[in-house]
Structure formats: structure tokens, C-alpha cells
Amino acid sequence: MDLNLLNPQQRAAVCHCEGPLLVFAGAGSGKTRVITCRIGYLLRHHGVEAGRILAVTFTNKAAREMHERVKEEVGRRAVKGMVISTFHSLCVRILKEEIERLGYKKNFSIYGTADQVRLIRDILQELGKDGQRGDAERVLWLISDAKNRLQGPGDFSSAGGGADQPLAAETYARYQKALKAYNALDFDDLLMLAVRLFREHPEVLTKYQERFRYIMVDEYQDTNAAQYELLCLLAEGHRNLCVVGDDDQSIYGWRGAEPENILKFEGDFPGTTVVKLEQNYRSTGNILAAANAVIRKNKKRKEKALWTAGGEGRCIEYLRCDDEEDEARTVVERIHAERFRNDLACRDFAILYRTNTQSRAFEEQLRYENVPYVLIGGQQFFDRKEVKDALAYLRVLVNSRDEVNLLRILNYPRRGIGETTADRLIRHSSEAETPLWEVLRNPSAVEDLGAKPCEAIVAFVELMERYRRRFSRTPSLAVAARDLFGEIRLEDEIFRGAEDPTRARRRLDNLEEVVNALASFEEREGSPTLEGFLGKVSLLDDEGPGRGDKDSKLAQDAVTLMSLHSSKGLEFPVVFLAGMEEGFLPHRKSIEETFDIDEERRLCYVGITRARRHLLLLNAAQRKKYGKPHPRVPSRFMEEIPAELLDEQGSTARPPASEEEQEEQANSFFSGIKALLGD
């Protein structure tokens, strides 16, 4: 490790070892290098054992990358025992050891969003509500928000709120009771229960405080109340807590993030050393000047200003377009021009926007011009129906009390246990206060159950018990899963349910990929278990929609279309920031709230700082709403960028030619060719 390769501020952060440290890391300032070098410094120069270090990130991808970088820095052996993980992975690790103290079993399931929505819909129906998906998702959001603030059902019911509060409060209590009965947790429970465990069992807290003597947290500005409390508890006593973040890039308030956490850190940890990383290694001077000018308007922030030693670069282009189609044509025209002039690849361009609905016009124009593009977002692999069906079998094998997944597979593939039979089984389970699995083991005790459904239930239980035994002793989880899926004829069911053979084949490939994932897991793990595999899969839901395939998409030579939220952490040589209008950026829902406007301004700042060499800002004079044109007003953020940084232009894109015009142009072209050839 050569500390001379670091700038003075980076070096100060790396060499600080004892006591609280707050690192304000501006966009493109090399924060990842600082974190990995600091870990290496603790190991090599401060004599810290690897097992005493905990580094926390927000995504599995970031954790993997950090682990690889630290290994490159100090070697594979030196990092053995170190924990580099997400908040949720850390809590799973703790709860797998200690959760029995809270009345759960160690083989708990982790419910993703789809399972949560299904359970809440059932509860809403029990309460006499219609249980539509939209209602369930709204109630789930309120419950999740309460958990992020460490509010249990009792605290939540007395905590004021809007029109949905009473229904959400009643649902919350039943939801938690159902989760406990199913021995299941959702992602928010992982954090809330870990905090509860530490508060109620001081001896457990002491154990982990002694283990993790040096704690580092990346993207600290994105922490919520539960994550903040977890860190405060772990760092109590030794106070060796290093947090790295940028309040100017806090853009997840709608997800519970509290940028105040980073701003109040010095007050919470007296004697904190503060380091500001302001030298930017990504963007040109003009781009940074625009970013600084915009974010400076936010009052509730730590004062800092990005700068670069790399020169001013090109002026930022401000392109004023007629409408959304003209905006799209202008962007594609500029892509062609930049590629020709500067020898750029398609992957060097990104089109960023505030809302996903804005992508439509760009997609159409890129297709029209035969320009390859990727749209970041969409469905992750483990969210696909056929994959969730296969995983549901595996989840029930591990946790028979997981009734959400048990009901999912009870008659899938079809085995003669219809809805009427399922309703009777559920009613008997509820009235007898007996887990559904125990009811299935003795179906003859259920009233009005015919002989054929009883036979089907007995066969189903026998199948599951047989494979539970097999998975507990098999040398190959992948082979056991393949045999299970074959025995229940999942392939036949997929073919029956597919709209056409092509989609069926694609879904069968996904089913095969589940088995492949198990095989890969076995190769990586020293002592692989089905429970361990499902835990890894569940934590992938922590990544958020569309992130699972982001890397593979970005590797293609194609123009990238993505929302501003999705762009955080990425960079591109040329960035088009579209829809710079009131109602888009800032978003119409935020215009009335000063606090929300601050977050919209941070979003704009994030978008600007994604650009390395050239930034183009666009807006439209009008846009269609239900087919009719409506006037638009330029974003207030445009007024905050100094005029001398901007090269303001009107649109130069021409509308697509009509068929007659295309034919006339073609005839003229060929006539010219003939004249040149003397024909």
C-alpha cells in the first residue's frame, strides 16, 4: 500500500484508526479506494485482526466488490474472518445465531415483496376489505415505513397519520402475528429484530461489540432510523465507527433514508474527526461548477465544493425542444454526431430521466434509427413466476410453517387439491389453532373432505417428507432439486401454462437455472445447505427491482436508458439529462414541500455528476397529456446554473420524413449517383 498515491484528505481518512470518523465523500472523489485502503491500513499497520473488522454497504454487489478490492490490497489470507456485508446480511448472520431468544426458530423464512403482498391481501380480506393488490401495497408501504422507524404495531396504532392509518395499524398487528406463526420475517424485521435483540439482551450486544471493534459504513446518508440505531448500539463503548457518505447524494427519502443521520453524526459522537473529500477524479470543471451551483441552494447541508485538476472541458449544452418527440430526435441526432466526431461507442452514452414513463419516446426513436439500447429495470431472475414456484417447494422443505409458500405449492402442479379443499384446510387450521402443515399430515380430521382430496394430500405430504430427508443427507443439493422438479412434473405444468412454445422454453431455461444456481452455491460453499442457499436468494431481494441484471446490460455496447435513481454510483462519458422541467425535475409531487424540493435538487446533482466529459440538458416547450399538448415550464434548476457554463440552443432535429418524402429523397439520391457515373 503506497499512501503517496492518495491525496492529503484521502490519506488523513485512511490513517485515522481510533475514535469516530466522518468522511464526506463527494461524487467521484475516490471513496471506495479510501475505504479499502483504510481496511488494509488497520490490518497491516495497526495490527487489527481481520475478524474484528465490520464493513457495511447497501448492496450485495458493493459488498462483493469491496471484498475483492481488500483481497487485492492485503491478500486472501489477511481478510479471513472479516465481515463485509449489507445491513440485511449482517442481521441474518446475527439472528441465525440468536433469534431463539425472541421466540423464533433458527430456520426462519425471509419473505420478499410478493410474499408480503399476498399475506397482506389475505389479511385485508379477513377484515372485510376487498384486498386488491394496490390496497395491499399501500398498507405494506405504511407498515414498512413504521418498521424502518422502529415502531411496532402498538406504537404505530397510536402514532397519528392519514386516512389509511387505522386500517394499516390493524393489519400490522395481524401481519406480525401471521409472520410469527409461519416462522417468517420480512426484510424490515431483520433490522428491527436485531435492534430488539440487542436492547433486550445486553449480553448478546456485548458479544458483538467485542467482536466488531472497528466498524465502517459506506453510503451513510442512506441509513434509516433502524440502521442508525443498530450502528449506535454496536459502536457503543469503543466508538471506533467510521462512516462515509455524502448528504448531497441522499435521494432515497421515499424509502425511509434520513440524511439527518450524517448531519448529526458529530453531535451524536463527540470528538469526531471530520474529513472532506472534494477533489473529483471523474468530471470536467464545467460539469462540477454546474453541480456545485445547483446543490448550493440547499440550506440543510454540509458546505463543500467539488473541484478537479483536469481542466474546464466543454460547455454544457442546453437544448430547448418543441415536444417529447423532438427531444428524442434531438438526443439520437446528437448521439450520431458525438460518435462520429469523437469515436465513441454506444455504451458511452446515457439518457437519464426523473420518471420511467419518459423512456417511451427515446425507445421509439432509438429503434427507428436502429441504435442499440438497454433499458435498466425490469424483472429480476428470482422474481419470475416459474422461479418463485420452484423456490417455494424448497422453502417449505426447510420451513414447513411457511404457509404463504405452502399454499402456493399445495395444488401446483395440479394434484387434485382445489380451492374448496384448500379453504376447508385453512379454516380447520384456524379453528383448531394448528399449523397448516400439521393439518395436512392428518387430513381425515378435516370435515367434509372427500376421499380423493385426502389421497392427494397424503401423497403430497409423503413427497415433501421424503425430499426433506433427502436434502438433509444428500451429497448434491442440485441433483436432489432436479429430481424433485422432475417428479412433480414442473416442466409439463410450465408448458401447459405458457402462451406459446417460445415463452415455455424460456421459462424452462429459468427452471434449469435454479438448479444451476444450487450447483454454483455448492461449489462456493464449504458446507452447503438448502437453508443457506435460500438465505442467499432471499437477500437478493434487497437489491431492488432491476438491479440483478444491471451489470450484464451495462456491459453491452448500447445506449443506456435509466432513471436518475438507478444511475447513482455510475458514470458515462456523455450524459443526456432529459425533461428539465417543472413537474418532472422537480417532480410535481414535490413542488409544494420545501423538504422534498431539497431531495429533487439532490437528484439533479446526482444526474449532473454522472457525466465525465460532456453533459447535455434538455427540456420541451410542450408535452402531450392524453393526446393533447400542454405547455411546460423550464426547471428552476436550470436557472441555478450560471449562464456562462451553458451553450443554449434550440432543437436542430428534423421530424421523420413522410413516406412520399422518403421516396422523393431516394429518387433524388439515385439520380445524383447516375449523373456521377455518367449513365
Supply the residues annotated as catalytic.
Answer: 31-32, 218-219, 249, 610
The order of strands in the sheet holding 559-563 is 373-375, 559-563, 349-353, 572-577, 611-620, 316-321, 646-650
Q: For residues 422 and 676, give the distance between their C-alpha atoms in angstroms, rounded to a whole number.
A: 80
**Torsion sign, CA atoms 395, 401, 404, 409:** positive
At 547 the three-state DSSP class reads coil
Q: For residues 230 and 191, give the distance between their C-alpha atoms in angstroms, rounded to a whole number.
A: 8
Task: Quickly count helices (H) and strands (E) in the chain.
Answer: 30, 17
Cβ atoms of residues 148 and 225 within 8 Å: yes
Q: What is the largest CA-CA distance in the chain?
A: 97
Show the cell assigned to 542. 434487497
CB neighbour list of residue 423: distance below 8 Å, 6 or more residues apart: none
Q: Among all chains, which residue has been given the C-alpha cell 420451513?
A: 399
**Torsion from C-alpha of 25, 26, 27, 28, nearest 10 degrees:** -70
Q: For residues 495 and 502, give the distance between their C-alpha atoms in angstroms, rounded to a whole number.
A: 10
What's the DSSP call for residue 56? E
Which amino acid appears at position 341 of this protein? Answer: R
Q: Among all chains, which residue has been given the C-alpha cell 399501500?
A: 138
* Start-to-end C-alpha separation, the chain: 72
Show the cell assigned to 29. 472523489
At 475 the three-state DSSP class reads coil
- Compute CA 558 distance to the chain's CA centroid, rounded to the nearest angstrom: 22
- Identify the bridge partners of residue 583 per DSSP, sorted by sequence position: 587
